Structure 1
């Protein structure tokens, strides 16, 4: 149930951020660049998975495999990074306090979601602890 609530919150916040309440700013091109980088990170993350291994919910599938190569060798949650980068780009393009507050809510939601997912992985896989020691959570080489 917790997984479904977190996924709902994530997509609801994204939906609210995409509603056309503001007009674009002078920062259209930097925002588009940040969004494009986020899309590339997302494609790399999806490409690293075997078919059927990817899950939008933080729940661990019965027959899943821990992915530790490609972009996952640097960051444990590249899909969350991808979402955050894409929505940061949207926030830059349509900057307002409304967008900024929603972006901060999205960051909090995804941090809760990834913490929950990491807890589940620690219970599911003994290899995860070693993987945690050699990678960063969300931002390569930093966090």
Structure 2
């Protein structure tokens, strides 16, 4: 149930951020560049998954495999990074306090989801503990 709530909240915030609400674009090129970079990270993450291994909810699927190759070598949660960068790009394009407030709420939601997912992986797969020591959560070499 917790997973469904977190995913629902995540998509609701993204929906609110996508609504321009009559604001003019401010920094179209910079925001678009950040948005595209976020999408590329997401595509790189999807590329590393075998069919049926990807899950939008933080729950651990039955028979899932821990992915540690490709972009997962540097970041444990590249899909979350992808979402955050893409939505940051939108916030730069529409550059309002409303957009940045939603971005902060999205960040908090994704961090809660991320920590919950990591707690499940620790119980599910002993190799995850070793993987924790080799990689960062969201930002390579930083966090």
TM-score, normalised on structure 1? 0.99
Match of 1:131 in 2: 131
Measure how far apart 1:62 and its partner are. Answer: 0.7
Indicate yes or no: 2:8 matched with 1:8: yes
Return the offset for 1:20. Answer: 1.7
TM-superposed deviation, 1:23: 1.2
Structure 2 length normalisation: TM-score? Answer: 0.99
Which residue does the alignment assign to 2:100? Answer: 100
Measured against aligned partners, the alpha-carbon deviations of 1:8-31 in whole angstroms (never above 9, x if no partner) come to: 000000000011211101x11000
| 4+ long deviations beyond 4 Å | none
Which residue does the alignment assign to 2:118?
A: 118
Q: Please, what is the CA RMSD of the aligned residues?
A: 0.4
Structure 2 stretches lacking a partner, 5+ long: none
Gaps of 5+ in 1: none
